[in-house]
Amino acid sequence: MKLTGFVLGIRINKSFFIEDKLGAIIDDILYSENSELNNRLFNEISSNATGKVVYNAHTGNKLTVSAQDIIFEYNIEKDFDIEFDKYLKNFNLIILKKVFGDYQVKNIHRFGFVIKAELSKSDTLIGDISKVIKSHYSGDEDSFTLRFNMTTKKPITIKGIITEDYDNEIITYDKVNQKSPTYFSADYQKYFKPELALIKDATIPFDTFCKNSLQSFKQKYLGEEKR
């Protein structure tokens, strides 16, 4: 398995205040001192019905800012661990501390972290599924998409009130045709019910959530020992 990219994301309840300040927020992200999420990483900008997107068409890297989401999508150049650490640290510094602080972003609904990979060969799950397909249909499947999710309740008690927090993990396999690699992704999500008033109220910081998710991924899919 080759790790090819990752996505960092925060979802909030729709904020019209953010919608009104999109241009200023983008400028702060791109031009803040020490920002790695800068105009060298992203060289184009566009607007859509929900927000603004800064991106690089050559690398595929993209940052989306809307009234509901801030999402950073990155494709690995050389070393997953080094580049992940670099941009997670900067996302935390520029987005969660500066932008969320300066613009008083509230009502955080969900953390999200996606790990993207390519499979060099079919794993045991895909092998088993292929056997089932062949038992019902003749020939080999040319393409397929498989997606499923696993939800775990994670309630906590805050001032005598039990929350309905939960974690969700979405696994996706996608093969475009027989000659293409099988693309694989694990989407780790942490939901807060009720929403967090402020990002600092999270019982687990966003960067810790991402690091723990990556460690879990490596143990499960890459066979690495727990550290």
State yes or no: pLDDT of 227 exceeds 70: no
Mean pLDDT for the stretch of residues 98-112: 93
Q: What is the pTM of this model?
A: 0.91
Q: What is the pLDDT of residue 226?
A: 61
Q: What is the pLDDT of residue 219?
A: 93
Does the residue 227 lie in any domain? no
Q: How far apart are CA 103 and CA 23, in angstroms?
A: 12
Does the residue 223 lie in any domain? no
State yes or no: pLDDT of 122 exceeds 80: no
Element (H, E) at 66: strand 62-66
State yes or no: pLDDT of 38 exceeds 60: yes
Mean pLDDT for the stretch of residues 62-73: 95
| Higher local confidence (pLDDT), 42 or 144 | 42
The band of 225, judged by pLDDT with boundaries at 50, 70 and 90, is low
Element (H, E) at 47: strand 44-47
Domain count within the chain: 1
Does the residue 226 lie in any domain? no
Q: What is the pLDDT of residue 180?
A: 83
Give residues with Cβ within 8 angstroms of 64, minimum separation 6. 51, 52, 53, 70, 71, 73
Average pLDDT of the chain, as a whole number: 90
Residue span of the structural domain in which 91 resides? 2-218
Does the residue 41 lie in any domain? yes
- Helices H / strands E in the chain, number of each: 6, 11
Q: What is the pLDDT of residue 63?
A: 97
State yes or no: pLDDT of 31 exceeds 90: yes
State yes or no: pLDDT of 197 exceeds 80: yes
pLDDT in tens, 146-196: 999 999 999 888 777 899 999 999 999 998 887 888 899 999 999 999 999
